[in-house]
Amino acid sequence: MYKVIEAANILGVSKVTIYKKIRLLKLTTEEYSYKKGNVTYLTQKSIDIIRDSLIENGIISSVNIEGENVQELHEMLKLEQIKKSYLKKEILLSKRKYRDELKKLKTFLEAKIALKNKQLELRRSMVEDIKKI
């Protein structure tokens, strides 16, 4: 026996859809379901009937890969796509940060080269002045 929420998860639909199918397919007899308090339980037979009805109406696919619910696979795919998008953004941010650091380093090195060129020019000038003496 399965709770309605479990049946919904198995079939990849909402609880509301399951309740509607129970009512529309008249699965309220003890052969198909029973209520204990506020909880409705379904037999495997009723889940199979609901699954067939959902497939027939095009609400779900008949594909079931290694026991994985198609809805679960779609959710996993969406999660992987979100992760991929996040990682792409992280890579772009890292590239920008790296590029900015390289620009700062380039500016620093250019300033250092300019300073060394001035120092070299000053020394050449001093050597020329000494030669004149």
- The string of pLDDT tens digits covering residues 86-125 is 999 999 999 999 999 999 999 999 999 999 999 999 999 9
CA Rg value for the chain = 36
Q: pTM score, two decimals?
A: 0.47
Return the DSSP state at 133.
-
Domain 1-62 bears CATH identifier 3.40.50.150 = no
pLDDT tens digits for range 66-91: 455 666 777 888 899 999 999 999 99
CA atoms within 13 A on the CB side of 124: 6
Q: Where are the domains of the chain?
A: 1-62, 68-133
> Rounded to whole angstroms, how far apart are CA atoms 34 and 26?
12
Phi, psi at 43, each rounded to 5°: -80, 165
